[in-house]
Amino acid sequence: MIAARDYSAQERTSLEAESMALGLSADEVFALLGSRTLDIYLNADAWWTNVPEKVWAYAFGGYQVIKKWLIYREQSVLGRTLTPDEVAYVAEMVRRIAAILLGGPAVDANYARAKALAVTWKDGTTVCSALSTKHPPDGISTMARRERPHDRRGRSGG
């Protein structure tokens, strides 16, 4: 069972504090997460409160992530109830998906800055000029490639 409701005063205060930490307005946070929240009841023993509506609705590959995860763990499928670790994992998914949604504007802004810095080479290849420098311009995030274990040993893949 899913019960939609307004955020409590305490939940709103917490989200407003989080918005300041993220450099977003409270209105932006509520637009990204949804103006209402949900209480999700799997059964009498397992439920989750304050799941923002857009977190619950978050879909990947055409499927609602949390809903799909729970469907595969129904007692009729597993032949048992959820373990405490599985119940806790749902709360972790809620936090992770909320972080993805809240990080969207920063990712979009980084993409726009990188796209604006793109240059076309003589062969027609377009690259981001920020990625070809040792130190990218302010505001451009970079990700270091993680070394795979076989790279450290000098073996080639294949």
Please enumerate in sequence order all residues whose Cβ is within 8 A of that of 137, keeping only pairs 6 or more positions apart, or say none: 113, 117, 130
Among the listed residues 30, 50, 25, 26, the one whose alpha carbon sits nearest the alpha carbon of residue 40: 50
Digit-by-digit pLDDT tens for the chain (158 residues) are 899 999 999 999 999 999 999 899 999 999 999 999 999 998 777 889 999 999 999 999 999 999 999 988 887 888 888 889 999 999 999 999 999 999 999 999 999 988 888 777 777 776 666 555 445 555 545 444 344 444 444 444 44
Please state, in angstroms and rounded to a whole number, the distance separating the CA atoms of residues 87 and 97.
16
* Residue 75 burial (CB count, 10 A): 12
Handedness of CA 116, 21, 66, 33 (dihedral sign): negative
